[in-house]
Structure 1
Amino acid sequence: MPVWRVLIVEDDSQMREFFAASVARCERLALAASVGSVAEARAWLDDPANAVDVLLTDLGLPDGSGLDVIRHARRLHPECEPLVISMFGDEDNVLASIEAGALGYIHKDSTPDDIAHTILEMKDGASPISPMIARRVLSKYLSLQSNQALAQEQRAQEAIEKVANEAQAAANSGLLSRREQAVLELIARGFSYLEIARLQSVSVHTVQTHIKNLYSKLAVHSKSEAVFEATKLGLLRAHG
């Protein structure tokens, strides 16, 4: 049966001694080293004479983050399995630890009496995690899933509305004759009946007839209403 070599990285001397004693009592574990800072951990890991199977690390270290130690260990010792024991129980630190390569996360408030047992569980294929932290991560995941579902529903609704608007615009495109559309554009730009008649080379009476037809088709009674309704129906671009 293999004996797993454990590197402990913990700045609290009492906790470090507690973990070291637990490892020392277990026949299947061997204490490779016990250090209290990122710098010490990196120096130990950099030494080619050293080998490690399990990294037991805190996150809040005096000269940096245990995340750096995890990444460094995984890069130099790919077979090493990191286990975090930290006071940080928020989702961001948990997820960051997992992304860095941690296979387990134990909150210090729920540290087991025998950390060696937790280490052996991890080496046997488990991913130990404190119930409190597991609940928080699950809540975060469910919240993200809910937000994603709402976003997808909103995008679907927007797509449906876009298709409906395009279909309505297509249907409205044949509502006015070409001459009526031209008169409508000129009305929207503020031209008078006389100016429209000159631009279209028709009589003022003809312009009035086109406008009367416009009002009837758009169900309005004034120029401003005609411009507003036509813009709403997609027959006319908004004029600033």
Structure 2
Amino acid sequence: MKNNDPYKEVIAVSIVEDDRDIRDSLAMIINGTPGFVCEHVYGDCESGIKGIPEQGADVVLMDINLPGKSGIEGVKKLKAGNPDIDFIMLTINDDEETIFEALCAGATGYLTKETAPQVILHSIREVYNGGSPMSANIARKVVTSFKTIDENPLTERETEILRHLCDGSNYTQIAEALFVSKNTVASHIKNIYRKLQVNSRGEVVRKAIKERLV
């Protein structure tokens, strides 16, 4: 079990990356830097899921777009059985939905592949010591997303109805659950669509999940 000793001499890093050039380059940088060692690399998520628990690691650099299972799926599965391992997503994906999916799956850090080698090394040390390193543009997106969440335009009743919509309830079921008429439910849903600038149930559910409105 990892003891998170900030003065630990060597941090063991594993890499899950399908691009051999990137994988080999990262391993070379890590192994060429005092205080770090990379003994295990994996070219796909399935290999990582199998090998990482057996071989062990303090920190894992995980790509997202991998053949077969995605890196996000890998983090979710590995984190469930190995809570002491920290995961840093190292990827080209920088859209808000992917970022939050990765963080919700259990990733602690999120860096883009343009990140300089020294910053990656610093981030590995930082995440090992309890931090949550992110590339500057990723951090801005996270802050913006949380600001959007804090500025939820819906009333308490509208949020309650939105939650029922996300659960798959129809107008009649929502009306019965809230002891109101179907016309009242329809009126609230119309206001929800207007405030969230959507035009369909599918759109409103996707936006609710993405912006964590429910």
- TM-superposed CA distance for 1:154, in Å, is 8.7
The answer to whether the Cα contact below 8 Å between 1:32 and 1:52 also exists between their aligned partners in 2 is no
Matched residue pairs, number?
150
In structure 2, what is the equivalent of residue 34 of structure 1? 41
What secondary structure does 1:83 align onto?
Answer: strand
- Rounded Cα–Cα distance in structure 2 between residues aligned with 1:7 and 1:154: 47
- Residue 69 of structure 2 is aligned with which of 58, 64, 78? 64
- TM-superposed CA distance for 1:28, in Å, is 1.6
Higher CA-based Rg:
1
- TM-superposed CA distance for 1:29, in Å, is 1.5
RMSD: 1.8
Structure with greater proportional helix content: 1
- Residue 102 of structure 2 is aligned with which of 77, 97, 104? 97
- Rounded Cα–Cα distance in structure 1 between residues aligned with 2:156 and 2:130: 39
In structure 2, what is the equivalent of residue 108 of structure 1? 113
1:131 aligns with 2:120: no
1:51 aligns with 2:31: no
In structure 1, what is the equivalent of residue 20 of structure 2? 13
Amino acid at match of 2:117: D
1:144 aligns with 2:149: yes
Relative contact order (C-alpha < 8 Å, sep 6+): which is higher? 2
- TM-superposed CA distance for 1:58, in Å, is 0.5
Amino acid at match of 1:113: P
**TM-score, normalising length: structure 1:** 0.58
- Residue 84 of structure 1 is aligned with which of 76, 85, 89? 89
What secondary structure does 1:34 align onto?
Answer: strand
Change (3 A) 1:73 1:152: same
The answer to whether the Cα contact below 8 Å between 2:53 and 2:82 also exists between their aligned partners in 1 is no
Amino acid at match of 1:151: L
Give unpaired runs (5+ residues) of structure 1. Answer: 156-240
What secondary structure does 2:94 align onto?
Answer: coil
Residues 204-219 of structure 1 aligned to structure 2 (within 5 Å):
none
Amino acid at match of 2:84: E
What secondary structure does 1:43 align onto?
Answer: helix
- TM-superposed CA distance for 1:144, in Å, is 2.5
**TM-score, normalising length: structure 2:** 0.65
Change (3 A) 1:99 1:154: closer
Residues 138-217 of structure 1 aligned to structure 2 (within 5 Å):
138-146=143-151, 148=152, 150-152=153-155
Runs of 4+ in 1 over 6 A off after TM superposition: none
